[in-house]
Amino acid sequence: MVSAHRAGAFIFGAALANVFRGDGIIPRGDSTLLKQQFQLDDDHFHDHCGVFGVFAHSEAAKLCYLGLYALQHRGQEAAGICSSDGADLRVAKGMGLVQDIFDPKRLATLPGDSAIGHTRYSTAGDTTLTNAQPIVIDCSKGKIAIGHNGNLTNAAEWRRKLEHRGSIFQTTSDTEVIVHLIARSSARNLSSAIADALNQVEGAYSLVILTRDELYAIRDPRGFRPLCLGRLGDSYMVASETCAFDLLDATYIREVEPGEMLRISRAGLESFRFAPPKQHQYCIFEHVYFARPDSLVFNRSVHHSRENLGKLLARQYPVPADVVVPVPDSGVPAAIGYSLESGVPFRMGLIRNHYIGRTFIQPVQAIRDFGVKLKLNPVRGLLEGKRVVLVDDSIVRGTTSRKIVRLVREAGAKEVHVRISSPPTISPCYYGIDTPTHEELIASADSKFRPRLSEADAISLPSSSSNTSEADPSPQTVEEIRRFLEADSLGYLSIENLRNAVSDTERRFCTSCFTGVYPTPPVQLEVQHNAQHNSQHNAQSSSENAQEPQPTVTRES
Ligand code: SF4
């Protein structure tokens, strides 16, 4: 059995090498350019990926292209599509935006009536074409393509183990761990091998997997990242967000449930439970910032949630003011909510330039806060002499927020009151979101940016009556951030109100980046954790004993 695994690993490695050497990959002259270009100042958490899949449609690759186009906000560094014509899989990937990578000629190289696609946001230093997805492999289970939204928290440990056993990795992506585990599984069929692989990994994954004649849609048992099922005529579709269905006139059916594997084939749609249920951990940041406001995510309207966040923020932190101004675009729905609740008029006092790309010529002579001025321009007539409530969704490092406060003040605002429609982000995310380290997060106890108050200043601060739980920040932390931002006042939404805004009465949402408390072991602790965890876990989920999950065959309408 071991030697068969080893032989499989070599064949698998060779097949991977073929795929990653360039088959189906679009070389773009601007990949070098991308590295040289000036990165715009953007102080937000970033979603890593969006996924899309379509089964049984004569224009599968084109629909996939359009689906990815609608999901572009979930990743702008790379994208790829893999299609099946029933006989073979073909893939095309490239760096950049979906519309720049694919043209009619390129889409014509992707024949067949089923396809999956992926858009990717890569972390710093990781902007490489080899990490673009879908990843395609040819293994003992046949040829399969995989697209992944999320992040595995025990990927590094598994990678070390698999390399020790002879697996040859071609990417630095955690997704490849799933691929190797599927390839190595001794389970009888692909759905069992996938279940076997997924029961050995921890963390966040919403997956689309394509074979010659099947499409799989899978969500991890905690359900960190969204994944939706839709229908267009007789064709099934899956997407990270429902905005992709809207563009295609497809009907949203339901979410893929946490711990559910959907297998779509000519026989219809089958639903499997591949793992024991776990406490759900829907990413609450999808409703704060990541998802498009016109999407349904976790069965809730994102726009509605964001308006609620703004309304609760207005109740929690009212202030006498003349105008409510959003930081566009992400602060708009919360600012509308704040305005509706407070009665203070909503005004678009900052205009965003939507046409800035990654390439521009920076003046030799320094212009103060140049990056943010490229992106946002204040409307002087709306701000001059006014007491402004400036609403944004979150503060990460604080550097951009400070520039925006300065911009509003330089446009003549008399007072600038910053209101944030989420609690302070104090800790990184390990579940598929690109976040800075503790040191870079201004609200973290380890922040290297935040000025600290003197003991005398701290003692004179009034204790806050608005904070409602132990996890909310101390008045001292908020005051230190306010000083850094140069704002007249600062108010963050409490964790309790964050949960209230999404009606989270059953504690189904993850709030780890606001609390520092994680539902899975954090990455830093995984080595020590895995020593005990894997010995127990592997005993339960050995490849040799993998049970085929029992499907429920359904036809959704
Ligand atoms: S840690 Fe924050 S960003 Fe990450 S899944 Fe949880 S709520 Fe979302």
User: Is the Cβ–Cβ distance between 406 and 412 less than 8 Å?
Assistant: no
Mean pLDDT along residues 435-440: 86
Q: 370 vs 388, which has greater pLDDT?
A: 388
| pLDDT confidence bin for 433, thresholds 50/70/90 | confident
How far is ligand 1, taken at its centre, from the CA of residue 16, in Å? 32
Predicted confidence (pLDDT) at residue 253 exceeds the cutoff of 90:
yes
Percent of the chain with pLDDT over 90: 67
Best mutation site among 284, 426, 495 for ligand 1, i.e. most ligand atoms within 8 A of its Cβ? Answer: 284
Residue of 49, 64, 82, 510 marked active site: 49
Residue 446: pLDDT band with limits 50, 70, 90? confident
Nearest-atom index, ligand 1, CA of 518: 1
Atom of ligand 1 nearest to the CA of 45: 3
Contacts of residue 383, defined as CB under 8 A and 6 or more positions apart, other chains included, come to: 323, 325, 349, 408, 411, 412, 413
User: Beta strands of 21-162 (E only): which ranges?
Assistant: 46-47, 49-55, 78-84, 89-95, 114-120, 135-139, 142-152
Q: Which residue's alpha carbon is at the smallest distance from atom 4 of ligand 1?
A: 429
Strand ranges in 403-483 using DSSP code E only, listed in sequence order: 415-420, 433-434
* Token reading at 404: 């925006």
Flag whether pLDDT at 537 surpasses 90: no
Could you tell me the distance, in angstroms and rounded to a whole number, from the CA of residue 203 to the centre of ligand 1?
Answer: 11
Closest approach atom of ligand 1 to CA 425: 2
pLDDT, tens digit, 9 for 90 and up, residues 522-531: 554 444 333 3
Mean pLDDT along residues 250-263: 98
- Comparing 447 with 257, the larger pLDDT belongs to 257
Q: Which amino acid is at 382?
A: L
CATH number corresponding to 301-352+376-461+472-516: 3.40.50.2020
Closest to 319 measured CA to CA, from 480, 460, 499, 487:
487
Q: Among 144, 147, 151, 225, which Cα is nearest to 185's?
A: 144
**Mean pLDDT for the chain?**
84
Cα(279) to ligand 1 centroid in Å equals 15
| DSSP tag of 451 | P
Q: What is the pLDDT of residues 12-44, one digit of tens each?
A: 443 443 333 333 444 343 433 333 333 445 677
Ligand 1 center to residue 513 CA distance, Å? 5
Provide the pLDDT confidence category of residue 372 given band limits of 50, 70 and 90: confident
Position 371 confidence tier, pLDDT thresholds 50, 70, 90: confident
544 has a pLDDT exceeding 70: no
Identify whether the C-beta of residue 514 lies closer than 8 Å to the C-beta of residue 393. Answer: no
| Distance between Cα 66 and ligand 1 center (Å) | 27
Q: How far is Cα 462 from Cα 465, in angstroms, rounded to an integer?
A: 9
> At 557, is the pLDDT very low, low, confident or very high (cuts 50, 70, 90)?
very low
Mean pLDDT of 496-508: 96
Per-residue pLDDT at 529: 37
Annotated catalytic, 510? Answer: no
- For 158, the token pair is 């598994």
Beta bridge partners of 136: 145
Give the confidence band of 49 by pLDDT, cuts at 50, 70, 90: very high
Domain with CATH 3.40.50.2020 in the chain: 301-352+376-461+472-516
Q: Mind giving me the DSSP string for 359-416?
A: --PPPSS--TTHHHHHHEEE-HHHHTT-EEEEEES--SSSHHHHHHHHHHHHTT-SEE
Tens-place pLDDT, residues 211-247: 999 999 999 999 999 999 999 999 999 999 999 999 9
Q: Which atom number of ligand 1 is nearest to the Cα of residue 514?
A: 2
Q: What mean pLDDT comes out for the span 473-479?
A: 86
Cα of 43 vs centre of ligand 1, distance in Å, is: 16
pLDDT at position 171 is: 87
Q: Whose CA is nearest to atom 5 of ligand 1?
A: 283
Pocket probe mutation, ligand 1, options 513, 518, 523, max atoms within 8 Å of Cβ: 513
Nearest atom in ligand 1 to the alpha carbon of residue 512 is: 1
Q: How open is the CA angle 60-62-67, to the nearest 5 degrees?
A: 90
Distance (Å, whole) CA 448 – CA 445: 9
From edge to edge, which strands make up the β-sheet containing 387-392? Answer: 323-326, 387-392, 415-420, 489-492
The DSSP string of 173-194 is: -THHHHHHHHHH---SSHHHHH
502 compared with 375, residue with greater pLDDT: 502
Q: Over range 94-105, report the average pLDDT.
A: 95
Which of 285, 393, 441 has most ligand 1 atoms within 8 Å of CB, for mutation? 285
Within the chain, all domains assigned CATH 3.60.20.10 are found at: 49-280
Q: Is the pLDDT of residue 548 over 60?
A: no
| Ligand 1 residue neighbourhood (C-beta within 6 Å) | 45, 224, 283-285, 429, 431, 433, 510-513
Residue 129 Cα to ligand 1 middle (Å): 26
Q: What is the pLDDT of residues 166-222, one digit of tens each?
A: 889 888 889 999 999 999 999 989 999 999 999 999 999 999 999 999 999 999 999
Tell how far the Cα of 120 is from the centroid of ligand 1, in angstroms: 18
Per residue in 54-85, pLDDT (tens digit) is 999 999 999 999 999 999 999 999 999 999 99
As beta bridge partners, residue 391 has 326, 419
- Any residues with CB less than 8 A from the CB of 333 and at least 6 apart, and which? 293, 303, 306, 307, 309, 310
Residue 483 has pLDDT above 70, yes or no: yes
HSE-CB at 179 with a 13 A cutoff on CA atoms is 32
Ligand 1 centre and the CA of 525: distance in Å? 18
pLDDT at 469: 58
Q: What average pLDDT score do residues 273-289 get? A: 96
Q: Report the nearest atom of ligand 1 relative to the CA of 430.
A: 4
Question: For the residues 270-299, what does the mean pLDDT come to?
Answer: 96
- The hierarchical CATH code for the domain 49-280 is 3.60.20.10
Residue nearest to atom 8 of ligand 1 (CA): 283
Taking the CA of residue 284 as reference, the ligand 1 atom at the shortest distance is 7
**CA distance between the termini of the chain:** 44
